[in-house]
Amino acid sequence: MPKASADTWQPAAHLQGLQRRAQVLRQIREFFYTRQVLEVQTAALASTSVTEPNIDSIAVADYGYLQTSPEYQMKRLLAAGAPSIYQLGPAFRHGEAGRLHNPEFTLLEWYRLGFDEVQLMAEVAELVDAVLGVGEFSYLTYAELLAVEPGSLDSDQEDLLLLQRLDELLEQGQRRVFITHYPASQAALAKLHAADSSVAARFELVVDGVELANGYHELTDAAELRQRFERDQALRHNKGKAAMAIDEQLLAAMEAGLPNCAGVALGVDRLVMQALGATSVQAGMAFPAGFV
């Protein structure tokens, strides 16, 4: 094996970035410790992965897949009687690289028993304030943000418009924005609103123009979840992507009884980037893709 050159062995991040990262991780754990939320650790390698058509998992021959999120296993813990829980650790997605992405990244995911998405948004705001300093949060529904008739754009046009609107919010000084009431077609694993089934009990938090967290009032209906997984399979087929086996263990746990809860996933590398005032997640990562 050839020797490394004089500079290629060095980490991507400076010591200051790694020190700030360590501080953020400590702040996160202290935040949940004071709230008596239990830290858990689930498997990073499992036999199945997500069916989500816009996410590609990394396959490991003879073993299965590196997990894109600990969500399914954490929900199995909740169905088995766990209290409110959180996990802080690695997740993996194929083909994701760039200023805001890395194939291996650090994800914070937590679930609060008895919470709905409104209560969880308040806690997300408290965590962001604890790490980045107290700031002002604004709230917009998905329809208010896009300001177009529902269904008037195809998915690619809608995605481009969403990015444009987020840039406009930042230019207007709205640095921390919760987007709520996503259309039912984008519900993912969220419940639909009882009063309006055309929208989901889902939110995203955008900080300084960057999508930071994605949360739901969690769907607890196993039959509905199976239908959504099957729709995912059809969408994957239409996109020319390989089918992903449905996670039957998750569905069995849901049938046994997932308690009423809300959950959220937050990108830790992006949070560290923002704590550093940097422009890329690599500023807080020792060895991102290309350095290992």
pLDDT in tens, 125-165: 999 999 999 999 999 999 999 998 767 888 889 889 988 99
pLDDT tier at 2, thresholds 50, 70, 90: very low
**pLDDT reported for residue 6:** 57
Residues 201, 194: Cα–Cα separation, whole Å:
9
* Average pLDDT over the chain, rounded to an integer: 94
Residue 8 pLDDT greater than 90, yes or no = no
Kindly report the CATH number that applies to the domain delimited by 15-284: 3.30.930.10
Query: How confident is the model over 60-74, as a mean pLDDT?
Result: 97
Helix (H) / strand (E) containing 232: helix 222-238
Comparison of pLDDT for 167 and 216, the residue scoring more:
216
Comparison of pLDDT for 244 and 156, the residue scoring more:
244
Question: 51-81 burial, b for 16+ CB within 10 Å, e for fewer?
Answer: bbbebbbbeeeeebbbbbbbbbbbbbbbbee
Residue 75 pLDDT greater than 70, yes or no = yes
